[in-house]
Amino acid sequence: MSYVMVDVEADGPMPGDYSIISFGAVIVEPSLSKTFYGKLKPISDNWVQDALKVSGFTREETMGFEEPKFVMEQFAVWINDNSKDRPIFISDNNGFDWQFINWYFHHFLGQNPFGFSSMNLSSLYKGLVRDTFKNFKYLRKTKHTHNPVDDARGNAEALLELAREFNLKI
């Protein structure tokens, strides 16, 4: 199994009505050298200025990004080429990130290489420390910049630290 840490930047709260602007993924292994970065052209005329602002791109810039089907095809190939056995989707906020990636895979490719489930890093941490009010983000080494590869890498660093600290098999 390979854990694939994913982070999504979008221009609104849900897929279909709104669009992924960019996303990043990192294979969770000590080197953290296997990364993917996609910038996707919007699929909808809807967008929320405050949500788009987080990505650091203007609407005009996003209109020049790659076609979503092409990016999702490339991501599926990358997952296949870089995963050992079954890939496992994990993110800091999988309620948000998973809904977009799952929808885009099914909409554009008809299937999701991750299957039908995902994992939430924050929930895993809270369970390990047995405190639902604790936050794992202090374990990141890479600064959280809203560049989705940076953010995925920081979250992957946190997962590796949890594995070390709690003797967690990943």
- Looking at the DSSP bridge assignments, the partners of residue 89 are 4
* Tens-digit pLDDT profile for residues 97-110: 999 999 999 999 99
What distance in Å separates the CA atoms of residue 155 and residue 152, rounded to the nearest whole number? Answer: 5
Picking from 51, 43, 56, the residue whose alpha carbon sits closest to that of residue 17 is 43
For residues 36 and 33, what is the distance between their CA atoms, to the nearest angstrom?
Answer: 10
**What backbone torsions phi and psi does residue 31 show, to the nearest 5 degrees?**
-75, -25
pLDDT at 149: 98
CATH of the domain at 131: 3.30.420.10
Here the tokens at position 142 are 């890479």
pTM, full prediction: 0.97
Q: What is the predicted pLDDT for the residue at 88?
A: 98
Would you state the pLDDT for residue 101?
Answer: 98
Domain count, the chain: 1
Q: Which residues does the chain have with pLDDT short of 70?
A: none
Check residue 140 and give its pLDDT.
97
Q: Would you state the structure tokens that stand for residue 158, as one six-digit string? A: 């946190």
Sheet holding 119-120, edge to edge: 35-39, 20-27, 2-10, 87-91, 119-120
Please report the pLDDT score of residue 129 as a whole number.
97
Q: Which value, to the nearest 10 degrees, does the dihedral of the CA atoms of residues 80, 112, 86, 83 take? A: 30
d(CA 115, CA 81): 17
Query: Which pLDDT value is given to residue 151?
Result: 98
Predicted confidence at residue 113, as pLDDT, reads: 98
For 11, the domain range is 2-166
Query: What single-letter DSSP state applies at residue 116?
Result: T
Work out the percent of the chain whose per-residue pLDDT is above 70. 100
Catalytic residues: 146
Would you state the pLDDT for residue 99?
98
pLDDT of residue 44: 97
Phi, psi of 115 (to 5 degrees): 85, -140
